[in-house]
């Protein structure tokens, strides 16, 4: 009788244990998802934000990251210039690299030759910042996003 | 002692069974992911009348993720630019997209069309969004392959 009880206990333990293994670890926030721009920061001393520019009414800039692919579009009412881009991305804990494959004509004029952007990344579960730095690693400005989905 | 092997068997069966239930059902294909346009069809009387291929670097890519959809078009020959962002829902055979914003050209179209409704043909690696006329006849389709 004791053996049976022990086995029943072991059985229940094993059944419940399979639940633990199948839940995914969530220590690392992921950039996967849909994000909307909320503000820009300027960094006049290269380290700390010196001023904040909030996204103006009706202005919308949304980025989607999915499985190594990134796409972003910007909507500015009554602006004749159009902005968008598509490509691939890689992240580490503190860096974000985007390699665009194509983009709007205006973006192409602003882009560097290899269409690659290396940025500092600050990522939390529901917000992230991509920070542009100069050659010496000093922060210039950032785009700050909140998670939509 | 006879009972013990039976119980061990039951135990293994139950453990194994949880593995079966924890795998997600794959009966319906998902639109989630990144898709690139392969070509477009014009339809006449229920048949594909002609195929429009991508020429001169034309690319059109859509990303669907958790109810949000974004698409952009790279078309060096076209002085106008095209993109859109919004939400979507779909069933096995129907796709509905609601535009929240788009390029100038798309915002012009949005004045008359708020919801874009399509017939949907979806399998794992390909999908087609088919525009129907007022009588439910196929008129135009965009055909995509999965990138990711």
Task: Say whether residue B19 is in contact with chain A using an 8 A CB cutoff.
Answer: yes
- What is the C-alpha separation between A132 and A118, in angstroms, rounded? 8
Alpha carbon of B110: minimum distance to chain A alpha carbons (Å): 14
- What is the C-alpha separation between A86 and A98, in angstroms, rounded? 9
Note the pLDDT of residue B24.
47
Note the pLDDT of residue A9.
73
> pLDDT by residue for chain B (148 residues), tens digit each?
566 667 667 666 666 655 555 444 445 789 999 999 999 999 999 899 999 999 989 999 999 999 999 999 999 999 999 999 999 999 999 999 999 999 999 998 877 777 999 999 999 999 999 999 999 999 999 999 999 7
Task: Say whether residue A10 is in contact with chain B using an 8 A CB cutoff.
Answer: yes
- B21 within some domain: no
Q: Does the pLDDT of residue A94 top 80, yes or no?
A: yes
Question: How many percent of chain A have pLDDT more than 70?
Answer: 87
Among the listed residues B4, B87, B73, the one whose alpha carbon sits nearest the alpha carbon of residue B40: B73
CATH topology of domain A30-147: Lipocalin (2.40.128)
- How many Cα atoms sit within 13 Å of B109 on the Cβ side? 13
Q: What is the DSSP letter of B25?
A: P
- B20 within some domain: no
What is the token pair recorded at B105?
């050209």
Note the pLDDT of residue A77.
87
Residues 80-109 of B with CB under 8 A from A: 81, 83-85, 100-104
Average of per-residue pLDDT across A27-52: 93
Note the pLDDT of residue B17.
59
Length of chain A measured in residues: 149
Q: Does the pLDDT of residue A20 top 90, yes or no?
A: no
Average of per-residue pLDDT across A123-129: 96
Is residue A28 very low, low, confident or very high in pLDDT (cuts 50, 70, 90)? Answer: confident
Q: Does the pLDDT of residue A19 top 70, yes or no?
A: no
Task: Say whether residue B147 is in contact with chain A using an 8 A CB cutoff.
Answer: yes
- What is the C-alpha separation between A96 and B28, in angstroms, rounded? 34
- B98 within some domain: yes
Average of per-residue pLDDT across A101-110: 93
Note the pLDDT of residue B128.
98
- B13 within some domain: no
- What is the C-alpha separation between B129 and B24, in angstroms, rounded? 26
Which of the listed ranges A23-27, A42-46, B111-115 does the model predict with the highest average pLDDT? Answer: A42-46
Residues 45-84 of B with CB under 8 A from A: 59, 61, 63, 65-68, 70-72, 74, 81, 83-84
Total structural domains in chain B?
1
Residue B132 domain boundaries: 27-146
**What is the radius of gyration, based on Cα positions, of chain A?**
22
> Out of B8, B18, B147, whose CB is closest to A18?
B18
ipTM: 0.79
Q: Does the pLDDT of residue A26 top 60, yes or no?
A: no
CATH number of the CATH domain containing B134 = 2.40.128.280
Among the listed residues B82, B66, B96, the one whose alpha carbon sits nearest the alpha carbon of residue A86: B82
Task: Decide if A64 and B70 are in contact by the 8 Å CB cutoff.
Answer: yes
> Out of B68, B85, B104, whose CB is closest to A82?
B104
Note the pLDDT of residue B39.
97
Contacts of A73 in chain B (CB under 8 A): 70, 72, 83-85, 101
- What is the C-alpha separation between A40 and B58, in angstroms, rounded? 33
- B18 within some domain: no
Cβ pair A84, A103 in contact under 8 A: yes
Torsion of CA A18, B65, A36, B117, to 10 degrees: -150
Query: What average pLDDT does the structure give for chain A?
Result: 89
Q: Does the pLDDT of residue A105 top 80, yes or no?
A: yes
């Amino acid at each position: 009788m004791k053996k049976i009880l022990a086995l029943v206990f072991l059985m229940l333990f094993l059944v419940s244990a399979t639940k633990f293994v199948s839940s995914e670890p969530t220590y690392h926030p992921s950039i996967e998802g849909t994000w909307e721009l909320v503000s820009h920061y300027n960094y006049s001393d290269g380290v700390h934000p010196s001023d904040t520019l909030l996204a103006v009414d009706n202005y919308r800039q949304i980025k989607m990251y999915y499985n190594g692919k990134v796409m972003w579009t910007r909507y500015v009412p009554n602006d004749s210039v159009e902005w968008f881009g598509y490509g691939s991305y890689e992240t580490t804990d503190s860096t974000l690299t985007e390699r665009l494959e194509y983009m709007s004509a205006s973006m192409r004029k602003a882009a560097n030759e290899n269409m690659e952007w290396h940025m500092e990344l600050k990522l939390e579960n529901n917000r992230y910042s991509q920070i542009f730095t100069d050659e010496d690693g000093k922060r210039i400005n950032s785009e700050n996003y909140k998670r939509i989905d | 002692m006879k009972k013990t092997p039976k119980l061990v068997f039951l135990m293994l069966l139950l453990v194994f069974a949880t593995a079966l239930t924890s795998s997600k059902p794959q009966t319906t294909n998902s639109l989630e992911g990144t898709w690139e346009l392969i070509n477009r069809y014009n339809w006449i009387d229920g048949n594909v009348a002609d195929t429009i291929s991508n020429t001169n670097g034309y690319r059109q890519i859509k990303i669907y993720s958790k109810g949000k959809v974004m698409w952009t078009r790279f078309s060096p020959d076209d002085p106008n630019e095209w993109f859109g962002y919004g939400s979507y829902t779909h069933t096995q055979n129907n796709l509905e997209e609601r535009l929240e914003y788009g390029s100038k050209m798309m915002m012009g179209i949005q004045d008359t069309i708020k919801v874009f409704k399509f017939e949907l043909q979806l399998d794992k690696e390909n999908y087609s969004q088919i525009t129907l006329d007022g009588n439910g006849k196929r008129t135009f389709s965009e055909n995509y392959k999965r990138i990711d």
